[in-house]
Chains A and B, each alone.
Chain A
Amino acid sequence: MVNSQKHRVLGLRAINSDAYVLRFERGNLDFEPGQYIHIGTLPGTEKREYTVYSSPREDYLEVLIRSAPSGNISQRLCQLKAGEEVSIEGPFGLFQLDSTALDSPLFFLGIGTGITPFHCFVQSYPNLNYKLIHGVCTVSECYEYEKYDKNRLLSCISREEGGSCHDGVSDWLRNNPIPHNAMVYLCGSSAMIYDVYEILGEQKFDTDRILVEVYY
């Protein structure tokens, strides 16, 4: 069986009524930016995947969680108090920046909490040549935008006024073809990723330059 480690909660920072950043002790967990961990509350064995939000340079671990309606684990995690413990396994995952491609323009496309690995990338590598396209329904999902270079961030808010664009991520992409020397990172729902693949395919973009992380 995979070894679970107990990590003490250091605090919880609410971002809006259903999203929050949970901070734990780092322990001896080493990870690469973009990787995820399995987190569960104690007692219990059920766990869910959460991408690490904080950079490996920090001596704590943070995750950004949106409580899923009637979600088993995400609802429980948001009720934790400093001093309580969670059980963590990992890290897992292959959604990492390719060190040989750091000079290429990087396009990060994420939906909702799919912004998390990009937050970790940006906090971990200070001089990245990136453009982050974040797709959300409402302004309240613009999670901690102050952490990004505002000239590199574009938010596509579909159901409210605000943001840089009112279309979905796919529509934005149709009108703004990605340069063929770029690397594209996609994180979010498999439906969104499928659409983006199709659009990039139409733009004759080399699919070997795309990396994906499917949340649901």
Chain B
Amino acid sequence: MPSRCVSFKTLGCRLNQAETEAIAGGFKALGWEIAEFGRPVDAVVVNGCTVTNAADRKSRSAMNRALRITDKTLVLITGCYADGHRDALEADGRTYVIGNAHKSYIPQLVDAHFKGELMPGHLEQHRDPFGYPLSQPVFRTRAMVKVQDGCNNGCSFCIIPFVRGRAVSRPMADCVRAVEDAAASGYREIVLTGVNMSRWQEEGRGFTSLLDSCLNAEGHFRLRLGSLEPDRLDEGLIDLMSHPKMTPHLHLCLQSGSERILLAMRRQYTAAQYESCVLEIRRRTRQFNLTTDIIVGFPGETEREFSETAAMCERLKFGHIHTFPYSRRSGTRADSMDGQVSESLKKEWSEIIRGISVRSRRQFRKSLIGTVQDVLAEQVEGEGSKRRARGLSANYVPVRFFLPNSRPYQQVRGEMFSVRICGIQDEAGGKNSELFGEVWNHGRT
């Protein structure tokens, strides 16, 4: 019998991507083929996002596209968008809504459906947000290990606690086993993910203990952290940043450089605390790359608060800034706040922050010229002597390098290469700058 085919559409955060990856791995393990989204398939999984009203719109449009593929295709919607809109989505009678808590059962559920065994009601009986099989290298060259779900912080702009629920931590032993399994299956890079990972806890132990145990897990791998909230970065964690298996990169969400705005956002740290923590990590960790998220045009933000943010971005020289013009999200506290900022001003401010980001990113990347980086190859392009690969360095910088054709690399994707950085190439009128290099010391690390 030909195997069944499934496709995916993922919106939103890295955790969603990690979860799709794991779900796809589950389908593969059950003998399913993975196809590109939009092709005729037996089932489509839309992993939607509801973080902003715009994310809602995109999720809805992905759903509609999925429903149009063929009228026989089974359409499943999951993720925060599904949780927030269950009743409306199920109204068409064709769509299955699988909440975040049951996401990990999607492969078994869909498989059971096609074998005529499906009883959706059964799903509601077991909830395990970490019940994913080990991810298979379906879309990515890195393994994602989910260690935490939900958030209790209650930021005033965020809908996530309402849809992902309260914070839950995956038991430490499970996390370490997942890291070891991923390393044993050949992954050279493992990423720990969660909605608010720094709040991971188990019996009085916090995230630093978890990270320490994962770094000391068996296997030949490097460890990366998905995006992190800056409110629980203790001395121990700062120390671990220079652990030999740790990648010198953090995506620490700053959101604003203004103390006033951070309070209105109900963030759990001050800009001053953020800055001193970053300076300390930089002091102790070589070639440390700091990336962040900034929201501009939060209600009540004036020129004064915005300039505090811009000044902080200039000072901290981020390796990259994801700039988000504040987007109103109904159901959040910020949506009903006074002092909403005009779209044109948000656009203007976003451009300023993006400009700062472009400059500091280039400066950071340039500082790596002449160094040797361990690059995990993700894509291979070209033929023969023009064959080259593109991948990410340990500090999360994209690097392009030629592959010596004398070496028949069986499988370049997912392999780690030692690459000497030779220069920087500007693209898109200087808006993007990419490092290029050459394979060093016969390549593999």
* Complex contact A1–B83 (CB within 8 A): yes
Name the CB-closest residue of B to A99. Answer: B204
Chain B, interface size category, equals: 20 to 34
Q: A93-B152, A197-B270 are in contact. Are A1 and B259 (CB under 8 A)?
A: no
Chain B, 156-170, CB within 8 A of any chain A CB: 156, 161-166
CB neighbours (8 Å) of A46 from chain B are: 331
* Complex contact B263–A194 (CB within 8 A): yes
Q: In whole angstroms, how far apart are the Cα atoms of A1 and B259 in the complex?
A: 32
A86 in the interface, Cβ–Cβ < 8 Å? Answer: no
Q: A1-B83, A207-B273 are in contact. Are A93 and B154 (CB under 8 A)?
A: yes
* Complex contact A214–B84 (CB within 8 A): no
CB neighbours (8 Å) of B263 from chain A are: 190, 193-194, 212, 214
Q: A1-B165, A2-B165, A92-B161 are in contact. Are A208 and B273 (CB under 8 A)?
A: yes
Q: In whole angstroms, how far apart are the Cα atoms of A46 and B335 in the complex?
A: 13
CB neighbours (8 Å) of A208 from chain B are: 273
Q: In whole angstroms, how far apart are the Cα atoms of A214 and B268 in the complex?
A: 10
Name the CB-closest residue of A to B204. Answer: A99
Q: A49-B154, A93-B152, A207-B272 are in contact. Are A2 and B260 (CB under 8 A)?
A: no
Shortest C-beta distance, B97 to chain A (Å), equals 10
CB neighbours (8 Å) of B52 from chain A are: none
A105 in the interface, Cβ–Cβ < 8 Å? Answer: no
Q: In whole angstroms, how far apart are the Cα atoms of A1 and B161 in the complex?
A: 9
Q: In whole angstroms, how far apart are the Cα atoms of A185 and B374 in the complex?
A: 46
**Contact among A1, A91, A94 for B99, CB-based, below 8 A:** A1
**Contact among A1, A90, A197 for B86, CB-based, below 8 A:** A1
Name the CB-closest residue of A to B232. Answer: A94
Chain B, 133-166, CB within 8 A of any chain A CB: 152-154, 156, 161-166
Name the CB-closest residue of A to B151. Answer: A92
Name the CB-closest residue of B to A189. Answer: B263
Interface of A is mostly: mixed
Shortest C-beta distance, B124 to chain A (Å), equals 11
* Complex contact A92–B163 (CB within 8 A): no
Shortest C-beta distance, A117 to chain B (Å), equals 14
Shortest C-beta distance, B258 to chain A (Å), equals 10
CB neighbours (8 Å) of A194 from chain B are: 259-260, 263
CB neighbours (8 Å) of B5 from chain A are: none
A127 in the interface, Cβ–Cβ < 8 Å? Answer: no
Q: In whole angstroms, how far apart are the Cα atoms of A207 and B84 in the complex?
A: 37
A28 in the interface, Cβ–Cβ < 8 Å? Answer: no
Q: In whole angstroms, how far apart are the Cα atoms of A193 and B263 in the complex?
A: 8
Q: In whole angstroms, how far apart are the Cα atoms of A3 and B162 in the complex?
A: 9
CB neighbours (8 Å) of A193 from chain B are: 263
* Complex contact A190–B268 (CB within 8 A): no
CB neighbours (8 Å) of B163 from chain A are: 1-2
Complex interface bits, A1-19 against B, C-beta within 8 A gives 1, otherwise 0: 1110000000000000000
Shortest C-beta distance, B263 to chain A (Å), equals 4
B266 in the interface, Cβ–Cβ < 8 Å? Answer: yes
Q: In whole angstroms, how far apart are the Cα atoms of A108 and B270 in the complex?
A: 19
Q: In whole angstroms, how far apart are the Cα atoms of A36 and B153 in the complex?
A: 11
Shortest C-beta distance, B38 to chain A (Å), equals 29
B312 in the interface, Cβ–Cβ < 8 Å? Answer: no
**Contact among A92, A197, A212 for B152, CB-based, below 8 A:** A92
**Contact among A1, A90, A94, A197 for B268, CB-based, below 8 A:** A94
Q: In whole angstroms, how far apart are the Cα atoms of A144 and B263 in the complex?
A: 28
A-B complex: 5 closest residue pairs judged by Cβ atoms: A190-B263, A1-B83, A2-B165, A92-B152, A190-B264
Question: Can you offer 14 A-B residue contacts whose CB atoms are under 8 A?
Answer: A1-B84, A1-B99, A1-B163, A2-B165, A91-B152, A92-B152, A92-B161, A93-B152, A94-B152, A94-B153, A190-B260, A194-B263, A207-B272, A207-B273
Q: Which residues of A contact B (CB under 8 A)?
A: 1-3, 36, 38, 46, 49, 90-94, 190, 193-194, 197, 207-208, 212, 214, 216
| Additional 5 contacts, C-beta under 8 A, given A90-B166, A92-B166, A214-B263 | A1-B83, A1-B99, A1-B163, A193-B263, A214-B264
